Amino acid sequence: MKKKNSIHDIARHLNISATTISFVLNGRAAEKRIGKDLEKKILQYVKKVGYQPNMVARSLRTGKSKILGMMVEYISDPFFSSITRLIEEKAYHLGYKLLYSSTENDTQKSKELIRVYRERQVDGYIIAPAPGIEKDIKALIDDNIPVVLFDRFFPKLLTSNVVIDNRGGCYDATKYFIQNDYRNIAMVTLDADQIQMKDRLNGYIKAVEEKNRKPIIAKIPFTLSNEERVVKILEFIKANRAVDAILFSTNYLAISGLKAIELLQLRIPDDIGIISFDDNTHFALFSPSVTSVAQPIEDIANEVIRLLGKCLSEGNYKKDQQETVVLPTKLMIRNSAVAVNNEHTVKVLA
């Protein structure tokens, strides 16, 4: 092992104190009125020997790690991986690294992760929280550790939050179905009482009830595998023959649904219309292409970093200054939910 040189090795070699080197390295040379020549000499030497300060030692001393803890549901989910990438990039520019992990939406794993992150003294948390971890997050904010929640949040907790207008997005999607003459619009969602899922459901219900129609809802347990979901959705459609449109509350639910519809040999958008909440890079390439409610990924990442940056830089940040940002969604109109019994259908039948 090449011997690592410490700040003291350099001090010895240059015949000055470690203090001076530390000041120079931390850009406090001017403030401490260190001689320009000395500063230059130190900088040159440090560069020459390729000295890298030991961040672990620095962390121990300062109590700051310059590491952010990020927890998402599944890093392999395209929504979360895109967000993570953007946040990583932005955090990097602020001088922070990301320690990240997938929670699998599991309460125990999440608690465990927060514990591990605390042990590591991460400076801030970016969390798409699993259910049941209110207390752990409360403990964090009680200790004045910056936390930004995204995708979902706990209304009773005074955290900074970045979410999207789930309710409005689903309301708009349902209205779009109605405009296109779909009559029996169902919603397939997750059997979870997370706020974002509730809001999505409520947006759908509002639009349907405005038309004096009855909501038709399937709640799929979120523990199921893709195959099991396909079966559930298939059974739901079979049990509700009249359904001619389905709003799926997540990306992967829509993908499972597509499979179920294929198995039932129903045609999209004629026999049944489809809209997916949360867009997917590939939906435009599906056949037919899938209409979706897109989340503003870039904006979410920007807001998360902006809010966290605020807490981080304020030192002792104000608890009463936490904000909740609600970002609008965008309906990506493609071909899985177009007007039935009109131009399109005619074309298909011709």
Partner DNA sequence: CTGAAAGCGCTTACAG
According to the binding rule CB under 7 A, does residue 57 interact with DNA? yes
**Which residues are CB-neighbours of 216 under 8 A, at least 6 positions away?**
184, 185, 186, 187, 240, 243
**Which residues are CB-neighbours of 197 under 8 A, at least 6 positions away?**
189, 190, 249
According to the binding rule CB under 8 A, does residue 271 interact with its own copies? no
Q: Which tokens belong to 250?
A: 């997540």
According to the binding rule CB under 7 A, does residue 183 interact with DNA? no
- Which does residue 65 touch among DNA, its own copies, none (CB within 5 to 8 A, set by kind)? its own copies
Please report how close the Cβ of residue 120 comes to its own copies at its closest, in angstroms.
5
Instruction: Please check whether residue 122 is in contact with residue 96, taking contact to mean a CB–CB distance below 8 angstroms.
Output: no
Instruction: Please check whether residue 160 is in contact with residue 320, taking contact to mean a CB–CB distance below 8 angstroms.
Output: no
According to the binding rule CB under 8 A, does residue 184 interact with its own copies? no
Whole-angstrom CA distances from 134 to 109, 137, 147, 152, 154 are 14, 5, 12, 12, 7
* Closest by CA position to 85, among listed 251, 323, 300, 310: 300
According to the binding rule CB under 7 A, does residue 117 interact with DNA? no
Q: Which stretch binds DNA (CB under 7 A): 51-59, 94-102, 314-322, 335-343?
A: 51-59
Q: How many residues bind DNA (CB under 7 A)?
A: 28
Q: Which tokens belong to 236?
A: 């739901």
Please report how close the Cβ of residue 110 comes to its own copies at its closest, in angstroms.
13
Q: Which tokens belong to 200?
A: 């999505």
Q: Which stretch binds DNA (CB under 7 A): 57-65, 102-110, 257-265, 284-292?
A: 57-65
Cβ proximity to its own copies: between 45 and 74 the closer is 74
According to the binding rule CB under 8 A, does residue 223 interact with its own copies? no
Say how far apart CA 154 and CA 309 lie, in whole Å.
Answer: 21
According to the binding rule CB under 8 A, does residue 142 interact with its own copies? yes
User: End-to-end CA distance of the chain, in Å?
Assistant: 76
Among 2, 4, 93, 241, binds DNA (CB under 7 A): 4
Q: Which stretches of 29-139 are assigned E, i.e. beta strand? A: 67-72, 97-102, 124-127
Site for DNA in 216-235 (CB under 7 A): none
Please report how close the Cβ of residue 78 comes to its own copies at its closest, in angstroms.
7
Say how far apart CA 138 and CA 97 lie, in whole Å.
Answer: 24
Q: Which tokens belong to 88?
A: 């990583």
- Which does residue 17 touch among its own copies, DNA, none (CB within 5 to 8 A, set by kind)? DNA
Among 56, 346, 349, 350, binds its own copies (CB under 8 A): 56
**Which residues are CB-neighbours of 279 under 8 A, at least 6 positions away?**
251, 292, 293, 294, 295, 332
Instruction: Please check whether residue 98 is in contact with residue 123, taking contact to mean a CB–CB distance below 8 angstroms.
Output: no
According to the binding rule CB under 8 A, does residue 82 interact with its own copies? yes
Distance of CA 340 to the CA centre of its chain: 35
According to the binding rule CB under 7 A, does residue 32 interact with DNA? yes
Cβ proximity to DNA: between 119 and 320 the closer is 119
Among 34, 46, 128, 337, binds DNA (CB under 7 A): 34
**Is the C-alpha dihedral spanning 81, 87, 91, 93 positive or negative?**
positive
According to the binding rule CB under 8 A, does residue 225 interact with its own copies? no
| Contacts with its own copies, residue ranges (CB under 8 A) | 1-2, 52-57, 59-60, 65, 67, 74-76, 78, 81-82, 84-85, 88-89, 92, 97-102, 115-116, 118-121, 142-144, 255, 258-259, 280-282, 285-287
| Contacts with DNA, residue ranges (CB under 7 A) | 4, 6-8, 15-20, 22-23, 25-26, 32-35, 38, 51-54, 57-58, 60-62
